[in-house]
A and B are shown apart, each in its own frame.
Chain A
Amino acid sequence: MAELAVPAQPKLLIPRQVMLWVMATSAFAILPHLTRMPVLLAVGLIAVIAWRISHIYRNPHWVLRTITVLCAVFIVFWLHGGLWGRLPGSQLLCCMLILKSLELNRPRDAMLMVSLSFFVVATWFLFSQSPLTFIYLVAGTWLGLTTMIVINRGNCKRKEVRTMFVQGARLALPAIPLAVALFFLFPRLSVPLWGIQGGELEGVTGLSSTMSPGDISNLFIDDGPAFRVTFDGPQPTQSELYWRGPVLTRFDGRRWTQSIYSSVPTRVKPDRDDADISYEIELEPHRRQWLFALDYPAVYPSESRLGLDYQLRSVRPVSSVKRYRISSDTDFRDNKMPNSTLLNEALRLPDGTGSRARQLVAEWQAEDDSHQAIIQTALRYFRDNPFFYRLDSLPLLNDPIDEFLFDSRAGYCEHYASAFTFLMRAAGIPARVVTGYQGGYDNGEYFLVRQSDAHAWAEVWLGDERGWTRVDPTSWVAPDRVQQGSRAVVDVPNWLHAPWLVDMRNQIDKVRHWWNKNIVSFNANRQSRLLQPWGIERIDQRQLLLLLVVLSVIISLLIFWWYRRADHVRHHDPVVHAYHKLIRRLQRAGISTPIYAGPQTVMRKVVAYCPVIQQQVEQLFTLYIQHRYANGISGHNQRVLVRGLNAFKLPKRS
């Protein structure tokens, strides 16, 4: 039974199986990062992993290793134009992790790689915190901890893989309740310790601060959520849901951009008493400053500003899920024009474009010069001529306005908004383009607004009386767009409309919503209101810490109790277990045997102590010796033996 220690020279290479475990862990860690990596880098990293697995015991020469590392740094630098920032930083970390495997020899290297893998997993959360990443988090932790166990054991036979995973789970599972307690109770920072950089726009889909033909139609294929809305009172109808986003005033003939005055705070605001709709918005991070609201926000979060163009902007870029409450006054008229510069800007047209359009407007003006009449004529022009609302319109090359109005006559909302605004300005009516979202899907609990609901419309200034007024030319071309949502008007493959698929997508979004609401957007503010359901209005950080300590102690005690119980239950050989219990009973009765004593010595001692029961003792011990040291005994006899050992009692000495 005796085992001799296996000599393990620390300088020896770690065995092949251990190396495979480490490689699997690091490959799993970089897996989601690969999807965001330039192809060159991704292929390179996969090649390095493949090479290492096929050349387990051969390190490349150190010169080659150095060159590889420098190449990786250079490639990242070249692809991103720098090494700082979320994307280059995380990709550099991935490279370092995988390139470390080229000198993966000793347990130390292996442990370092596993720790780095945890870090790589953490950096992924800078890009996404969706419920799916939670699975990645848990699986990564489990795999990493298991690999650490394997590294320390120094080997792992093929049949032991399952056991290793079970051991890893035994470490990770009890950690979950404690980690959750820490998550909710560990004091959060209400003010960041160091600056948060904004303006990192890689890979985020959504509206942008400019609009060219084709920008918004590109968003149509994006099924991802933009934001979710929960109304306090009655919900407005679908056609009233114009979610105001970036307001675009400047036009260069092709591209619409924001006015530089748009960030100037407005002094004329709707009165909060006039607000007739209240709602809460859960905004998915878009790394821009703007927030979405219905016209016109009267009550809005304190860390945001309302600009001259009534666009709501957050002070900081929205880099994580943001929840905010808004009350809007739908009847508000921004009729006071504080700045004529803004009006002038809303009249400016680039030279040399849209000459046919200007001519058309001149014809209309000759008939009726009033602003109302021009607007009606323009809208009728869209309705009566064969205009089509289509995603796949022809590219507009030289003069987008004229080509759209007179040649292609097919386009998406941005084409109509752009052309209409142009026509208005040509007629001397101040006009601008507003982008945002229109509509939303009511899934019973909340309104889901997807990226595909992105929309663009126009606003015209109708004098001091009526101020800026929304005009949506798209609704004249395709009324369904506004009444039923973006999907109603464009042909999409049938299977995308299959009811079960739509239903599933909505169910999935409910999970995302729950996740965002309770996990992702949990912060210092929410933490202080943690005990509200139990009637405690606010809880300060000292109380939080106290609660945390108390809860941790309780959970830890439960875990220890569970561990110890598991130890007692899990005995590999019930016969041995019963035998050792007997030895302990004998010790208490005064028959102490040295720990190295075998069963025969124990037997002789017992017989010497109490000769009366010699026969019984010998029978038991012979059976035990046969089970442990000879050929073994049948399963039935084992059970008999266990019963006999458990029932054994020393008679009272007279």
Chain B
Amino acid sequence: MQHSAQSRFSPFNWLVRQPRFQRWLQHRGPLAPPFTIAYRQVYILPTRFGVTFAVLLTAMLLGALNYNNNAALLLAFLLATAAQLSTFRTWRNLSGLDVGTVHAQPVFAGEPAVFRLNIYERQGFERPILELDSVHADAQNTGARLTLAAGQSGMLEMPVATSRRGWLECPRLRLSTIYPLGLFKAWSWVYPQQRCLVYPQPLDNAPALPRPSVGDGKRNLQPEPDADFAGLRDYRQGDHLKDIAWKATARMNKLISREEPPTAYSELQFKLSQTGSQDIEHGLRVLTTWVLLAEQRSLKYGLSLTGVEVEPDNGPAHLNQCLRTLALWQN
């Protein structure tokens, strides 16, 4: 399940999406990390403020030329030259940086998937104010900035909004800088071939866990409802009020809590049909909630979906397997 790459419209974004432009970019060097940013891979354009500044300088220049005011003319030339030379500084701030791999931890749909890009400074000079952004519609540009001292390495994050389960491709990234004057923005394209797993979103008000399967006849160890001392233990801090066995407490003269039935005896095999939901996506969300609840209560649980069977078990690895199955299951 892929997210469609929609971008906010701008001439720049339009150009970036053109296949010919993309081929041309690919031609100029690797875009998939890890790679070292070559001088040909740094692009530079004036920022919006840079354009404003240029207009201002032009006004100053015209006025000075008209009145043959040589001091003002000198100032205008000095500023224009400094601005022009700053492009070299801006370019140099990116050129030669080592772009490392991109990583992203799986997330539940609705949470932002955070792609983390490692960068390494190996040329031996400071790289101030590096920024990571993306023109992707779901990309949440944070404006976070990183300054790398000489020989240092660092990490920049790109959170991407998620709404659906499945694989989320890392959007095309731009590693950019406006250092030193903010008049020009230099950037390098980074196209990580990396994706992030998005689990279905758990529900807040999911139906209760189904009763353990009893049909197989092996185990029928539901505790008797009125067995007074079954599953009682001393009160521990944090126990909920309604879990306190008041009768037993009165009898024992100390706080006694009731405990969930021992888990080793019940096995839950979740099926879509148990969720009672017509909508498959909604059903998968219910199953995700159940899986999480069961793991929380240390129950043994498994999944039975069309074409996929996960044997009951528990533990973090098992949980991941179940969630991954739910994220990627196709009807």
A residues adjacent to B (C-beta < 8 A): 1-10, 107-108, 111, 115, 118-119, 121-122, 125-126, 129, 133-134, 137-138, 140-141, 145, 148-149, 151-154, 167, 171-172, 174-176, 178-179, 182-183, 186, 188-189, 192-194, 196, 319-320, 519-524, 559-560, 563, 567-568, 570-573, 576-577, 580, 594-596
Q: Does B3 contact A (CB under 8 A)?
A: no
Task: Indicate if the CB atoms of A137 and B71 lie closer than 8 Å.
Answer: yes
Task: Indicate if the CB atoms of A171 and B82 lie closer than 8 Å.
Answer: yes
Residues in A whose Cβ lies below 8 Å from that of B182: 107, 111, 148, 151-152
Task: Indicate if the CB atoms of A4 and B154 lie closer than 8 Å.
Answer: yes
- The residue on B at minimum CB distance from A130 is B71
Task: Indicate if the CB atoms of A596 and B181 lie closer than 8 Å.
Answer: no
Shortest beta-carbon distance from B192 to chain A in Å: 14
Residue of B53, B68, B98, B144 with most chain A CB atoms under a 10 A cut-off? B68
B residues adjacent to A (C-beta < 8 A): 34, 36, 49, 52-53, 56, 60, 62-82, 84-86, 88-89, 92, 98, 100-101, 118, 120, 122-125, 128-130, 132, 142-157, 178-182
Interchain CA distance A571-B121 in the complex, whole Å: 12
B71, B98, B124: the one within 8 Å of A577 (CB): B124
Shortest beta-carbon distance from A191 to chain B in Å: 10
- Assuming the contacts A3-B147, A576-B124, A596-B118, asked whether A121 and B66 have C-beta atoms less than 8 A apart, the reply is no
Task: Indicate if the CB atoms of A563 and B92 lie closer than 8 Å.
Answer: yes
- The residue on A at minimum CB distance from B71 is A125
Shortest beta-carbon distance from A427 to chain B in Å: 50
Task: Specify the main secondary structure of chain B where it touches its partner.
Answer: mixed
Shortest beta-carbon distance from B225 to chain A in Å: 54
Shortest beta-carbon distance from B141 to chain A in Å: 10
- The residue on A at minimum CB distance from B148 is A3
A4, A119, A183, A192: the one within 8 Å of B73 (CB): A183
Task: Indicate if the CB atoms of A567 and B128 lie closer than 8 Å.
Answer: no
B34, B63, B78: the one within 8 Å of A175 (CB): B78
B65, B80, B89, B144: the one within 8 Å of A6 (CB): B144
Can you list 9 A-B pairs, Cβ within 8 angstroms, ordered by A?
A5-B157, A108-B49, A119-B60, A141-B82, A152-B181, A172-B78, A172-B82, A175-B85, A178-B81
- Assuming the contacts A108-B49, A522-B70, asked whether A149 and B180 have C-beta atoms less than 8 A apart, the reply is yes
Residue of A9, A149, A570 with most chain B CB atoms under a 10 A cut-off? A149
Interchain CA distance A179-B65 in the complex, whole Å: 15
- The residue on B at minimum CB distance from A7 is B144
- The residue on A at minimum CB distance from B53 is A115
- The residue on B at minimum CB distance from A555 is B81
Shortest beta-carbon distance from A133 to chain B in Å: 6
Task: Indicate if the CB atoms of B181 and A149 lie closer than 8 Å.
Answer: yes
Task: Indicate if the CB atoms of A5 and B156 lie closer than 8 Å.
Answer: yes
Interchain CA distance A126-B65 in the complex, whole Å: 12
Residues in A whose Cβ lies below 8 Å from that of B100: 595-596
Interchain CA distance A522-B77 in the complex, whole Å: 15
Residues in A whose Cβ lies below 8 Å from that of B145: 5-6, 8, 154
- Assuming the contacts A152-B178, A174-B85, A595-B100, asked whether A122 and B143 have C-beta atoms less than 8 A apart, the reply is no
Task: Indicate if the CB atoms of A179 and B66 lie closer than 8 Å.
Answer: no
B62, B76, B88, B142: the one within 8 Å of A563 (CB): B88
Task: Indicate if the CB atoms of B71 and A176 lie closer than 8 Å.
Answer: no
Task: Indicate if the CB atoms of B129 and A194 lie closer than 8 Å.
Answer: no
Residues in A whose Cβ lies below 8 Å from that of B67: 126, 192, 196, 319-320
Residues in B whose Cβ lies below 8 Å from that of A596: 34, 100-101, 118, 120
Residues in A whose Cβ lies below 8 Å from that of B156: 5
Task: Indicate if the CB atoms of A595 and B77 lie closer than 8 Å.
Answer: no
Interchain CA distance A7-B179 in the complex, whole Å: 17
Task: Indicate if the CB atoms of A2 and B154 lie closer than 8 Å.
Answer: yes
- Assuming the contacts A3-B148, A3-B152, A137-B74, asked whether A119 and B69 have C-beta atoms less than 8 A apart, the reply is no
Task: Indicate if the CB atoms of A595 and B179 lie closer than 8 Å.
Answer: no
Residue of A5, A118, A151, A563 with most chain B CB atoms under a 10 A cut-off? A5
Residues in A whose Cβ lies below 8 Å from that of B34: 594-596
Task: Indicate if the CB atoms of A320 and B69 lie closer than 8 Å.
Answer: yes
Task: Indicate if the CB atoms of B66 and A133 lie closer than 8 Å.
Answer: no
B78, B120, B124: the one within 8 Å of A572 (CB): B124
Interchain CA distance A602-B150 in the complex, whole Å: 21
Residue of B84, B122, B148, B179 with most chain A CB atoms under a 10 A cut-off? B122
Interchain CA distance A133-B70 in the complex, whole Å: 12
Shortest beta-carbon distance from B291 to chain A in Å: 32
A1, A141, A563: the one within 8 Å of B75 (CB): A141
Question: 8 closest Cβ contacts across the A-B interface?
Answer: A3-B154, A571-B124, A125-B71, A175-B81, A5-B144, A5-B146, A175-B82, A179-B77
